[in-house]
Structure 1
Amino acid sequence: MRFNVLKYWIVLAGCLPSFVMAEEPVIAVIVSAQAAYSVPVTVNDLAPIYWRKKLYGNQGRPLHPANLSTEHPLRQRFSQQVLHSSPKAQLGYWNGLYFQGIQPPYTVESQEAMIRYVAYTESAIGYIEACKLDERVRALVWLTANKIQSEPPVLHCDTGN
């Protein structure tokens, strides 16, 4: 009897998927690398910029924040870490500001679209997976799984495509 129970558990354990916790990607908050201007952004600036409470940079230029689509996992995480709410919970807020003439951040559908928007739009700011950084943009702030920081963390990027 013990042998059958042990055999049953061994077979059952072999059928179960092995769950490996995937490491959360580091999110890089980005601005254009080519721009002659500087968008000085600190950890404390992110929420007011994305809530559209800070509309202009230090040099008087209008800031143009961009979001990924509402369902994108990076948008979900960015919203939770920086804005302390979900994208869906923000809809009422944006509906109220719309009638005051304040538009929500521009929305793009992919990380490549985010890079292009930020690289070629003056005073734009956005976010992507840090491992997707390229010469078109530069990172100002980093979001790891548990904190927001201004110093770049150690990245573990998969370079084999």
Structure 2
Amino acid sequence: MNGDWAARLKNATSRATFPYEVDEQQVGPPAPDLDRTMPWMPDDLITLFREVGPISLPDIGNGYFLYPPTPVDRPDRLDDAEIVVFGSNGGGDQYVRTLADGRVLRLQGLAYIDGVFVSNDVGAERVGDDLAYFLDRLVVAVEAFADHGHVTDL
């Protein structure tokens, strides 16, 4: 993740036009004092929120949201994998980063039972090999929306 990514996202967000009254689109502010009380939290997510902050784009496509980590004692689980939920879309899907290998997954229609996401027939779909790839896809989707009024699926 770098400053260029954040600048591209802010630029595309400011260029987007809507044929209806919109909610506020927000990128940031950065959270440079983000608490490191969760030693298991991946450095790339900490860096994202220290440099960019939370993202709320409720009117870009169905909406995209990246939210900063909240202090918890342990990561969530998806079946047998430890994960961090860091975002969602307006369709109810959750975006997660696996702790073991850094993959980014989209969780669709999963149950959350006793701190564990449990797969069903829709399950988890890989949307990136790492957070940087996912973030690049997000900015490309927002740029497409700003340029053409439609968004590509992440």
After TM superposition, the score normalised by the length of structure 2 is 0.26
Task: Kindly indicate whether structure 1 or structure 2 has the higher relative contact order, using CA contacts under 8 Å at least 6 residues apart.
Answer: 1
Q: Report which of the two structures shows the higher radius of gyration computed on alpha carbons.
A: 1
Higher strand residue share: 2
